[in-house]
Amino acid sequence: MVKLSVNVDHVATVRQARRADEPDPVAAAVLAELAGADGITCHLRGDRRHIQDEDLRRLREAVRGRLNVEMAATKPMLEAARKYRPHLVTLVPEKPGELTTTGGLDVRRHRKRLREHVRALRRARIDVSIFLDPDLGQVEAAAELGVGTIELNTNAWAIARTERAARRAYDALVAAAARAGELGLVVAAGHGLTVKNVGPIADIPEVEELNIGHSIVARATLLGMEAAVREMLVAMGRFDVLLR
C-alpha cells in the first residue's frame, strides 16, 4: 500500500500573501490526516516564503503520522532540524527566486559536503532522505552517503506532453526505483503529481510513499481538504479509503 504524505506549504503561501493568520497549515495538516493521509510534508525555505519556524513547531506537535521536512543542506537548516526534530528530513536543492524546487540534488557533485550533513542529522537521530532526479549514478551516490530513503523527482513525468517524453520519464523512474530497491533504500517519489498522472507512479513496485502538495492544496481550495485527499488516495489505488 503506497503511503501519501501531504505537503501543506501552499496553505501557508495563501496566508503569507496577506501576512494574515489564515489559512493555517497546521489545521490543513490535521484535516489531511483525518482524511487518510499517512503523514505531512513541508518545506522550510531559507526565505521563509511560506512555512515559518512557528508552523514547524506546531506541526511537530499536531501531526500524528510522520512529519517530513524538506530543507537545503545548510548550517541554519541543520540547526532548525535539531530544534524541531521532524521524523524525516528530505534534503533538497534550493535556489533563490525559484518558483518551486526545480530538480534533484546533485549528490555526485556535492558528495563530501552532503556526507557531513547526513552524518550530523543521523547523529541527531533524524532519518534522512534525498530528493534525486531518476539517475542511476545519483541513486548509487545517495546510497553511499548512508541515507535510508530517496525521493525520486517525478517532474519530467508530470510535465511530459508527448507519449515519447512520458515513456522516457517513466522508464527512468522505474529503473531508478529498481536500483534503489536493490541497494536497500526506501523509495519515495513526488513533484507535480495530480489525480490524472499519479496512477502509474503509485504502481512502481518499489515506491512506498508519495509526497504531493500543490495539486491537493489547489483542489482543497475548491472541494475542501478531506475530499482532495480522498480523491488522491483513490487515484493512487488506495481503495481502503472507500471503507473509511
Applying CB under 6 A, does 66 fall inside the site for ligand PXP?
A: no
Out of 192, 201, 202, 238, the residue judged to bind ligand PXP by CB under 6 A:
192
- Dihedrals φ, ψ of 48, to 5°? 50, 40
Question: For the residues of 129-187, what is the DSSP string, one character each?
Answer: EEEE-S-HHHHHHHHHHT-SEEEEE-HHHHH--SHHHHHHHHHHHHHHHHHHHHTT-EE
d(CA 216, CA 210): 12
- Dihedrals φ, ψ of 22, to 5°? -140, 155
Cβ-Cβ contacts under 8 Å for 181 (sequence gap 6 or more): 187, 205, 206
Report the DSSP beta bridge partners of residue 7: 41
Out of 56, 211, 220, 236, the residue judged to bind ligand PXP by CB under 6 A:
211
Out of 55, 94, 131, 209, the residue judged to bind ligand PXP by CB under 6 A:
131
- Does the annotation count 70 as an active-site position? yes
Residue of 10, 50, 117, 191 marked catalytic: 191
- Dihedrals φ, ψ of 18, to 5°? -120, 10
Nearest Cα neighbor of 24 from 39, 9, 6 is 9
- Does the annotation count 43 as an active-site position? yes
Decide whether 30 or 132 has the Cβ nearer to ligand PXP: 132
- With contacts defined by CB under 6 A, name the span among 21-29, 45-53, 187-195, 223-231 that binds ligand PXP: 187-195
- With contacts defined by CB under 6 A, name the span among 46-54, 59-67, 196-204, 212-220 that binds ligand PXP: 212-220
Q: Any idea how long the chain is?
A: 244
Applying CB under 6 A, does 23 fall inside the site for ligand PXP?
A: no
Applying CB under 6 A, does 101 fall inside the site for ligand PXP?
A: yes
- Does the annotation count 191 as an active-site position? yes
Decide whether 97 or 242 has the Cβ nearer to ligand PXP: 97
Applying CB under 6 A, does 187 fall inside the site for ligand PXP?
A: no
Number of residues this chain uses to bind ligand PXP (CB under 6 A): 19
Convert residues 155-184 into a mask of x (bound to ligand PXP by CB under 6 A) and - (unbound): ------------------------------
Can you state the angle between helices 214-223 and 225-235, rounded to 10 degrees?
130
Out of 100, 167, 200, 205, the residue judged to bind ligand PXP by CB under 6 A:
100
Where in 57-113 does DSSP place strands (E)? 66-71, 88-91
On whether the CB atoms of residues 37 and 66 are closer than 8 A, the answer is: no
Residue of 43, 50, 151, 206 marked catalytic: 43
- Joined together, the cell numbers standing for residue 136 give 542511476
Q: Least Å distance between CB 88 and ligand PXP?
A: 12
Binding site for ligand PXP (CB under 6 A): 7, 9, 43, 70, 90, 92, 100-101, 131, 151, 190-193, 211-215
Query: Which residues are part of the catalytic machinery?
Result: 43, 70, 191
